[in-house]
Structure 1
Amino acid sequence: MKTELNQTRGGVNVARRSFLRYAGTGAAAIAVMGAATACHKDRVDVEPGGNDIGSGDIGILNYAYALEQLEAAFYTQVVAHPYGGMSGIETAYLTDIRDHEVLHRDFFKKALAGNAIMELTPDFSKIDFSSRDKVLATAKAFEDLGVQAYDGAGYLFKSADYLTIAGKIVSVEARHAALISNLIDPGSFASDQVDNNGLNKVASIADVLPTANLYLKTKVSAQNFNYRP
């Protein structure tokens, strides 16, 4: 089956074999996706100078890249400036999550190459990094939002290989989300993110980007995002 892994914006190819090496053969894709919504509902405008994710599969990859940049920057700050009383096990957990997010960020950057949006500058001025409660609450918000974002946009991929990658990454993000919830309240790993059908909540691009932009100096838009269900 032909894929769209050679789709470009700016003339840069994304090699199919690189994705397959990363994903591994026979990997499970996202099992359940949300129903398609009208494309205009996923368009997000920002002030002039914002970074537009583009359209199609490349747009979804840039969307994921933006979120991974935000998470990588957040956990890098958390580990570099530990909150008071951070235990050894919490340090280990948060360092592992940081390393995962950095790997995700760097993977998308390399895969997108010339198609990638610019590197984003975070704005964490609203976060008190000295407070365990504030840091973990923010981590939970980022992780839950990230899982909802992947589940809400992954089904739009036309490329089966991109979908496989999204499935592998969202499963890791869900592990992060469960761990953070459990650090806040032991036993609460999925209490507010799983619906009555046993499915994770989902969020559209239009729902996610405004929240992400609250923590970004360089804003991200989906003004040109479009897809054909």
Structure 2
Amino acid sequence: MNDQYLKEKEDLYSTENSTTTALKRRSFLKYAGASMAVTALAVAGCSKDDNDFPGMDEGVYLGKGDIAILNYAYALEQLEAAFYTKVAETPYSGISELEKALLTDIRDHEIAHREFFKAALQTSAIPNLEVDFSSINFGSRDSVLATAKAFEDLGVSAYNGAGQLIEKGEYLLLAGKIVSVEARHAALVRDLIQNGSFAGSDVIDMNGLEKSLSPSKVLTAAAPFIKTKINARDLPTY
């Protein structure tokens, strides 16, 4: 990230009280552009057969139809919330106050998303998943931001891919509201890595549209980070 850019943002926060600071942080998130890519996670998932994770006949059952899709989204939100919680608990070396504040905001959003799905699904909700972050160096800025980028890009592609599979209009509306937040996260993280990279050609197609992934491909990509076996045999996909 450009040092002057970061300094200007840090100076902005230092002159405001805590309430105004929180609002300006959220304003920064609000106006960040949308982006998505899944390169890092796709590479991580290449060591597995595409059918190893989705469609298993054992493990936590996602359900059928819209319930399965909601649990699918809930699983991804659990993964993201767990990751950002760890980031907040063990800040990487040299983290600035600005970066800490922004990543904490993202953590809070992901926890809110996780709890929303849990409440909406009620007794149909899958249990808490066990994650595996052994491949992530939480003391390294590069490792943490690269993983955050991969998770956020995967989340955006997941919601975009699942939208066409949702049957109830109200669920589709809610998914649209959540994916817009995930896209802001993806854009922000990309700019933390390299200023101005929030919507590069690697994440936007020639028509100016974001790419998407099917649920089966998303689950395969996320599999290295989830210890809990997931039974997705009835999850709609394409």
Greater share of residues in helix: 2
Q: CA deviation at 1:62?
A: 0.4
Query: Are 2:69 and 2:236, in contact at CA under 8 Å, matched by a contact in 1?
Result: no
One of 206, 210, 214 as aligned partner of 1:196: 206
| Number of aligned positions between the proteins | 188
What is the match of residue 17 of structure 2?
Answer: none
**Which structure 2 residue ranges, 5 or more long, are not aligned?**
1-49
Aligned CA distance change for structure 1 residues 43 and 168 (closer, same or farther; 3 Å)? farther
What is the match of residue 51 of structure 1?
Answer: 60
Equivalent pairs: percent with the same residue? 59
One of 97, 104, 125 as aligned partner of 1:95: 104
Q: CA deviation at 1:54?
A: 1.6
Q: CA deviation at 1:47?
A: 5.8
How far apart in 1 are the matches of 2:142 and 2:219? 24
How far apart in 2 are the matches of 1:114 and 1:42? 28
Secondary structure at 2:158 match in 1:
helix
1:216 equivalent to 2:226? Answer yes
**One-letter identity of the residue aligned with 2:122:** A
Secondary structure at 1:138 match in 2:
helix
One of 85, 91, 110 as aligned partner of 1:76: 85
Query: Are 2:93 and 2:141, in contact at CA under 8 Å, matched by a contact in 1?
Result: yes
1:130 equivalent to 2:139? Answer yes
Query: Are 1:81 and 1:129, in contact at CA under 8 Å, matched by a contact in 2?
Result: yes
Secondary structure at 1:214 match in 2:
helix
**One-letter identity of the residue aligned with 2:127:** M
**One-letter identity of the residue aligned with 1:203:** L
Query: Are 1:55 and 1:224, in contact at CA under 8 Å, matched by a contact in 2?
Result: yes
How do 1:1-229 residues align onto structure 2 when only pairs under 5 Å count?
44-45=53-54, 49-191=58-200, 192-226=202-236
Query: Are 2:62 and 2:126, in contact at CA under 8 Å, matched by a contact in 1?
Result: yes
Query: Are 2:54 and 2:216, in contact at CA under 8 Å, matched by a contact in 1?
Result: no
How far apart in 2 are the matches of 1:150 and 1:42? 20
Larger deviation: 169-178 or 48-57? 48-57
TM-score normalised to structure 1 length: 0.78
**One-letter identity of the residue aligned with 1:92:** A
Detail structure 1 runs of 4+ shifted over 6 Å in the superposition.
Answer: none
TM-score normalised to structure 2 length: 0.75
**One-letter identity of the residue aligned with 2:217:** D
**One-letter identity of the residue aligned with 1:96:** D
